[in-house]
Amino acid sequence: MADQFDEKEKTVNLLLASGLILLICGIVAAMGYFCFALGIVTPPGASDAPGRVGGGNATGTGIATPGKVIAEDVQETEAVSDEIIFPGFVDFSITNGQDYLDLKNDQANPVYFRFTINDAEGKTLYTSGDIHPGEGERWQVTSAFDPGTGKHDITVIIDSFGESDGTQYNGVSTTFTVNMG
């Protein structure tokens, strides 16, 4: 009788221990999910290159919103603060009178930008010079596409470099549509 009680007690203890282990695993998994969801940690492989933000955002969402995009995943050095302000781009039509794209670097940035504009096939249409904080260049869309040729997808890639030493930092990539009418 005592042996049966010991076996029963061992079985109950084993079941309780197994349940406790499963509960702990569930809590850890839930914590990991919320950390990813809140952006506290980044999943492995989320970037396509070290220090690159946005990893080829082909949909034009998220990073490609009007206004400013702040990327806080910048390498910390004395010369570079902890954020870079990237311009955003949206679809546009030359029929509204705009036949250019302004490529600007915010005055507050601690880095200079280099813009590359590619067509849908990946052919480079334009590469800017070094655009320092507070400066900009204007790319004439009509230099690549004739008016009346319809819609064209273009990708703007912005790479950033430290003002003092030229070290490459974060970059963004966004794709959007230009309607040539």
Separation of alpha carbons 63 and 54, rounded Å = 7
The model's pLDDT over 98-113, given as tens digits with 9 standing for 90+, comes to 788 999 999 999 999 9
Q: What is the pLDDT of residue 32?
A: 59
* Residue 71: pLDDT over 50: no
pTM of the full structure = 0.56
Q: What is the pLDDT of residue 124?
A: 96
Beta-ladder partners of 38: none
Closest CA to 156 of 100, 122, 115, 114: 115
- Domain 68-179, classified CATH 2.60.40.2550, yes or no: yes
Separation of alpha carbons 17 and 11, rounded Å = 10
The model's pLDDT over 83-98, given as tens digits with 9 standing for 90+, comes to 888 888 888 888 767 7
Distance of CA 113 to the CA centre of its chain: 16
Domain ranges of the chain: 1-41, 68-179
* Residue 117: pLDDT over 50: yes
Contacts of 74 (CB under 8 A, 6+ apart): 51, 80, 81, 82, 83, 84, 169, 170
Separation of alpha carbons 162 and 150, rounded Å = 39
Contact 93, 102 (CB under 8 A): no
The model's pLDDT over 34-65, given as tens digits with 9 standing for 90+, comes to 544 444 444 443 433 333 333 333 333 223 22
37 exposure class (CB count in 10 Å sphere: 0-12, 13-18, 19+): exposed
